[in-house]
Structure 1
Amino acid sequence: MKDLNFFEPYQGKKKEKTNAKIYIYGAMGIVGVLIVITLTINTVSIIMLNRSIEDYNKKLSNSQTQQELKEAEDINKQITTLKQYDSALTDVAVSVKERDNVSDTLLNDISSTVPSEVSFKNLDIENNTVSIKGVSTNRTAVAELKHNLSELSNMQDVYVNSIDNSSAVEGEYSFDIKCVLKDVE
């Protein structure tokens, strides 16, 4: 015959409570173990980093390292000074390049204005002034040269200083023309 146990449903609930407690305590144990492991790892890491810091401080306080550090600082100061000089020289070079009045274009422009009866003896370019000394077979060619130079876009002012027919060769006129170039901006 089979025995009837009327308390059986209550015994299952007690067993469920103990199972839930086991799960809770197990999870708390796992979390506790993880905390201890993390604490151990971090403590070991901090100790190793402190040792490393001490080693670096010893190396930095070494007299040879101090001397090398001072040399490096001196070199850095020199590099900074040289960079400032380089910057200033670059600015000067750019300014000079922008003010460069003598160029192939200018010389080609002047050459294109010369009539066939004119030949140059001397061509001087100083600052913004071009001085041309030469000879011509007639005065009209000198006037034509002056007119052609005045038509150039980079000429501000062109004037004839002198025309003289007392040169060594008869029938030739020596002349002197001055041209003022426009400012380059």
Structure 2
Amino acid sequence: MMRCKMRDLNFFESYIEKREFKLDKKLIYFSLLSLFFFSLIVYTVYYSIMISKETKIVNTLKLTVEDPNILKKVEEIKEKEIEVNEFKMSVDKIKVLDKIIQERDKIDEVLLNKINDNIPEDLFLTSLSIQNGEIYIVGISRDKWSIAEFQKGLESLDDYEEIFVSNISLQNDYYNFSLNITLGSVDNGEIGEEETEN
């Protein structure tokens, strides 16, 4: 007869296996928890170092900003900037005034050429001055007729208010004369007002 080999049954075998498995699970939890705490420590240390560096940079910048020499230079730059702005405003005012003067300036090369074209043959100019919209002419002539002809010829000028001979005197066979030309629409007060408005 054949004998059957009997196998021993162990009722606690399944519990033992489960317990061993439980031990492995605890180890995994512990490892994960350790990793988390390690990461947290590394993260904290890293950010502490970064904050320390940033604090140093901020402190350096603060010292730079509060440095008296730098503050003095900044003030100088601000003053220069104010001066430059004032200069620009002055230049703009001068440009406007120059434009106004050019528009109102009636004494130009054309006018002087017209005066020159009307000088008779026996008349000579010794001086010509221009002031406040008036032209003062001083000259000599061989006769009074040339002076009258010169005055009449000047009446062809544009924009004049008055042309008159203020003085004629005979000296050494020549007549000395003074002639004034007042030009129209030249008002210096208005220029001043426009300058202050701008």
Tell me which residue corresponds to 1:167. 171
Structure 2 stretches lacking a partner, 5+ long: 1-45, 192-198
Structure 1 stretches lacking a partner, 5+ long: 1-43
- RMSD between aligned residues: 3.3
Distance change (3 Å), C-alpha of 1:53 and 1:84: farther
Q: Indicate if the aligned counterparts of 1:121 and 1:135 stay in contact, CA closer than 8 A.
A: yes
Tell me which residue corresponds to 2:179. 177
Q: How many residues align?
A: 137
Tell me which residue corresponds to 2:140. 135
Distance change (3 Å), C-alpha of 1:77 and 1:124: same
1: CA distance, partners of 2:51 / 2:147: 90
Tell me which residue corresponds to 2:7. none
Letter of the structure 1 residue corresponding to residue 110 of structure 2: T
For normalisation by structure 2, the TM-score amounts to: 0.55
Tell me which residue corresponds to 1:70. 72
For normalisation by structure 1, the TM-score amounts to: 0.58
Q: What CA deviation, in whole Å up to 9, does each residue of 1:142-164 have, x standing for no partner?
A: 12211222221143321111222
- Following superposition, the deviation at residue 93 of structure 1 comes to 5.6
Higher radius of gyration, 1 or 2: 2
Distance change (3 Å), C-alpha of 1:48 and 1:66: farther
2: CA distance, partners of 1:48 / 1:148: 94
Identity %: 21
Q: Which runs of structure 2 are paired with 1:117-132 in the superposition (5 Å)? A: 117-132=122-137
Tell me which residue corresponds to 1:152. 157
Is 1:109 the equivalent of 2:89?
no
SS at match of 1:147: helix
